[in-house]
Each structure stands twice: as structure tokens, then as C-alpha cells.
Amino acid sequence: MTITGRVFLFGHDIDTDAIIPARYLNSFELEHLKKHCMEDADPSFAAKVKPGDIMVAGKNFGCGSSREHAPLAIKAAGISCVIAESFARIFYRNAINIGLPILEVSLEGLVKDGDLISVNLENGTVFVKDKELKAQAFPEELMAIIRAGGLINYVKKELKAGETYAK
């Protein structure tokens, strides 16, 4: 499946307080999170973002808190994929667990805000103008979670398959 979307460009070290400020963590309703997504980095983001848009950032995207509200807010805002040079560990794990598509590849200097780019999520290819960029492949262990549509579906399958609880 290839997605085409408008780019929202962010810099390096975008932290989870920028993605969803802690003052809004008194609720995890998706509509509430969506309304305040990226508020302290770009106050107009929530008003401008449209379903299918693509977020592009530099290194260490999602650093800071473990709050799953961060990838949830981005997903709720309609972002189809986050492309970053690198991701902070917990954000990376959370995005995979909740089924927010992410790709690890640097688009530095290649795109600006509002550009249209395309992404093939299956093979991790990003199409920027006449260029094709390959994202870092996911290890097989993570692909299994991604294919299941997130950790809950994955674990549910495991529970059904007779996996016993740890003693």
C-alpha cells in the first residue's frame, strides 16, 4: 500500500512534551489528545493537519516521557506515518505497539513543509520527488507485532494459542 500525504516538518529531539504537553494528560480521550497534538511545537498543527498527512523529523523523535498519549495523539490527528532520522526508544516501541506506522530514514534537506511525498509501508520505501529512499528494516520479531496490527492483537493471539500465564 502506498500512501501519499503532505509533509509536516519538525526538527531534532522533538520531545513528548512537545507532542502532547503533560497539562493535557488528565484525559486520554482521542479527541482531546488530537486537539492538543504538537501544540507547543506548532500551535496551528491541530487545525491544519488532515488525514493522511505525513510527519517528518530529525534525530531522536519522541524523546522524554513514556506517555503513550504521544503516538496516540499523532495517530488520532490522522497522521499516516512518521518518518524520522531516528526515534527515541520508548516512542518507537509505543508506536509499534499501538499500530502507528513509523519509518527510520533521514529526509534532511529533501523536503519542506507542505511537500507531497509517498510512502510504501510494506517495503519501507519513501518517494521524494525523483528519489527513492529505503528506511531501516524492522527485525522479524517486530514485524510480527506490526503485521498483527499492534501488541494487543499479537498477545491476544498468543493467549488464544494456549500461552499460559507466568507463575
Partner 1 sequence: MGQTLAEKILAGHSSKSTVRPNDFVMAKVDLVLGNDITAPVAINEFLRLEAKKVFNKEKIALVCDHFTPNKDIQAAEQVKYVREFARKHEITHFYDVGLMGIEHCLIPELGLAKPGDLIIGADSHTCTYGALGAFATGVGSTDMASAMALGKAWFRVPLTQRFNYTGKLKLFVSGKDLILFTLGVIGVDGARYQAMEFGGKTIDDLSVEARLTMANMAIEAGAKAGLFAADKKTVAFLKSAGQNVAEIKPDPDASYYKVYDFDVSELEPQVAFPHLPENSKNVGEAKGIKIDQVVIGSCTNGRIEDLREAAFILRGRKVNKNVRLIVIPGTQKIYLQAMAEGLLQTFVEAGAAVSTPTCGPCLGGHMGILASGEVALSTTNRNFVGRMGHPRSEVYLSGPYVAAASAVAGEIIHPKEVL
Minimum separation from the CB atom of position 115 to partner 1 (A): 25
Q: Nearest approach, Cβ of 118 to partner 1 (angstroms)?
A: 28
What's the distance, CA 96 to chain centroid?
Answer: 8
Alpha carbons within 13 A on the beta-carbon side of 111? 32
Measure the CA–CA gap between 84 and 105, rounded to whole angstroms.
6
Q: Which chain residues interact with partner 1 by CB under 8 A? A: 13, 15, 17-18, 21-23, 25-28, 39-41, 59-60, 63-69, 71-72, 86, 88-90, 93-94, 97-98, 139, 141, 150-152, 155-156, 158-159, 163, 165-167
Cell 531516528 found at: 86
Shortest distance in whole angstroms from residue 116 CB to partner 1? 29
Residue closer to partner 1 by CB (options 5, 64) is: 64
Name the residue nearer to partner 1 (CB basis): 34 or 67: 67
Of the pair 132, 163, the CB lying nearest partner 1 is at 163
* Distances 5 to 10, 54, 69, 80 between C-alpha atoms, Å: 15, 6, 23, 8
- The residues, ordered by sequence, that sit 6+ positions from 77 with a Cβ below 8 Å of its Cβ are 34, 37, 38, 45, 46, 49
Nearer to partner 1, 98 or 110 (CB): 98
Nine cell digits for residue 99: 499500530
Which of 9/41 has CB closer to partner 1? 41
CB of 151 to partner 1, least distance (A): 5
Q: State the minimum distance, in angstroms, from the CB of residue 153 to partner 1.
A: 9
Rounded to 5°, angle at Cα 67 from 44 and 35: 25
